[in-house]
Amino acid sequence: MVFKCQEDSFLKQFASKVVSCDPATLEWTPPGETSVKQLKGFNVICEDTILFPEGGGQPCDYGQLNGQPVRSVIRKGTEAVHFVESSTGYEEGSIVKQSVDWSRRLDHMQQHSGQHLITALFDREFKYDTVSWWLGSDASYIELDTTHLISRESLDTIERKANELIRDGRKVTVELVDPEIAVQFQDARAPRGLPKDHTGLARVVRIEDIESNMCCGTHVSNLSQLQCVKLLYAEKVKNSVYVHFVVGERVLRKLHEAFHREQQINLALKGGPAQHLDLIQKLQANLKSSAKAFQKLLKDVAISEAEKLENTPQPYPKYYCLHRKDGIEPDFINTFLRNAPENIFYFLTVSENSTNNGKGLMVLRGEEKEVQKFGAIFLELLQGKGNGRETNFQGKFSNGSKIPECNALLEKHFNGNKK
């Protein structure tokens, strides 16, 4: 069956008779969100519909039935099943008013028709066949049957030719053909063939003097309605190449995002786009110099801490703890231990100074039995992983908030009553 939305993709409202209405639930993720909601409502089948059911790589339309939100439309054979989020159903035989979410429909038409155009040009210019495509919420891509990564120059060629055809305003038409008559299909691409449950005539979308493609989706009627095409980038994925693109209103949205980001970078770098590269390189050089100076300063601090301990009146303490939150810098611990006195149990950590308790690195040095005992205990407390041999133990941890508890255990062991 060819639905009303496929006959006239620009129809925004339509009245149709209810064939059936059954209680149903739906797991639904709102646009722009990641959490799944459990909705209650009804599965409604009408005699016809202007709401496109998911298919051909194109997501379903959203809209309303008598003012109630339609959250999903799927095709089952010759029928379209609308999930309507509502507390009340619809009587069989009643007439309902359908309305389509036009901004979503226009976006899908632009991306889908744009995909047909891009696919045709890659085939014509480079003999690359499109084996699949994906209409994403932010950008879309086509999968090309090639192992050669496509250069920016080749992408620009396709983009330029696509936008020239858009300016020409080539017509886009839809024809119904009989799949049993081969001559009607002789110039049509049919990469996936007809669905197994398809009956009746098949739809072929034709772009004037460019291509014919068997497709069930909704499309523009003239390439000028695409506004423009932008090929973002190409990436190699296994034995094929994905070409990511945006069409129409999405190009304007991308431009707005890029300009807004540029303004933020201007403020951060205190310079315009022409200076960004020089300013970033200068910032990187300053950061490298600062990091080098910080490493030297941290090394001096480690030596100073070790000397301060060594100059402590003897007898030395039985254990010594030192914790730094200057970042995960193993050289600080290594430098300290090289200069610190022997015969002391050491519990040393370096970690990130962050609000999430900080990840870090710990080192234990001392008598073998004590090192192995407290190494295992501390890893469990600090949520870490590590190992040691003989008198040294080293590990990484993810919860530095438990370090005071580790210190308390050492105090009890070395200066309290041993059990």
SS3 assignment, position 170: coil
Residues 219 and 345 in one domain: no
Residues 390 and 311 in one domain: yes
- Cβ neighbours for 127, distance < 8 A, ≥ 6 positions apart: none
Residues 218 and 178 in one domain: yes
What pLDDT does residue 155 have? 98
- How far apart, in whole angstroms, are the C-alpha atoms of residue 293 and residue 273? 30
Residue 291 within a domain: no
Count the Cβ atoms, other than its own, within 10 Å of residue 314: 6
Task: From 203, 238, 256, give the residue that closes a domain.
Answer: 256
Q: Residue 120 in contact with residue 142, Cβ under 8 Å?
A: no
What pLDDT does residue 416 have? 84
- How far apart, in whole angstroms, are the C-alpha atoms of residue 117 and residue 115? 5
Q: Is the pLDDT of residue 153 over 80?
A: yes
What pLDDT does residue 368 have? 93
Residues 82 and 110 in one domain: no
Q: Residue 374 in contact with residue 364, Cβ under 8 Å?
A: yes
For every residue of 245-303, DSSP letters joined together read EEETHHHHHHHHHHHHHHHHHHHHHTS-GGGHHHHHHHHHHHHHHHHHHHHHHHHHHHH
Give the CATH number of the domain where residue 359 resides: 3.10.310.40
Q: Residue 55 in contact with residue 69, Cβ under 8 Å?
A: no
Q: What is the pLDDT of residues 51-68, one digit of tens each?
A: 999 988 899 999 999 999
Q: Is the pLDDT of residue 408 over 90?
A: yes
pTM, to two decimals: 0.76
What pLDDT does residue 201 have? 76
Task: From 82, 100, 118, give the residue that closes a domain.
Answer: 100
- How far apart, in whole angstroms, are the C-alpha atoms of residue 42 and residue 45? 10
- How far apart, in whole angstroms, are the C-alpha atoms of residue 410 and residue 416? 9
Residues 230 and 120 in one domain: yes
What pLDDT does residue 176 have? 85
Confidence of residue 355 (pLDDT cuts 50, 70, 90): low
What pLDDT does residue 185 have? 53
Domain total in the chain = 3
- How far apart, in whole angstroms, are the C-alpha atoms of residue 261 and residue 211? 38
Domain that holds residue 72: 4-100
Residue 230 within a domain: yes
Instruction: Give the chain's radius of gyration (CA, Å).
Output: 33
Give the CATH number of the domain where residue 156 resides: 3.30.980.10
Q: What is the pLDDT of residues 259-291, one digit of tens each?
A: 999 999 999 999 999 999 999 999 999 999 999
- How far apart, in whole angstroms, are the C-alpha atoms of residue 2 and residue 177? 12
Give the CATH number of the domain where residue 41 resides: 2.40.30.130
Residue 264 within a domain: no
Residues 139 and 205 in one domain: yes
Residues 130 and 218 in one domain: yes
Mean pLDDT computed over 216-242? 96
Residues 122 and 225 in one domain: yes
What pLDDT does residue 352 have? 85
What pLDDT does residue 189 have? 59
Mean pLDDT computed over 360-368? 95
Residues 68 and 147 in one domain: no
Q: Mean pLDDT over all residues of the chain?
A: 92
Count the Cβ atoms, other than its own, within 10 Å of residue 94: 11
Residues 302 and 345 in one domain: yes
Residues 145 and 52 in one domain: no
Residues 199 and 232 in one domain: yes
Q: Is the pLDDT of residue 379 over 90?
A: yes
Q: What is the pLDDT of residues 84-117, one digit of tens each?
A: 999 999 999 999 999 999 999 999 999 999 999 9
Task: From 256, 289, 306, give the residue that closes a domain.
Answer: 256
State percent of the chain over pLDDT 70: 93
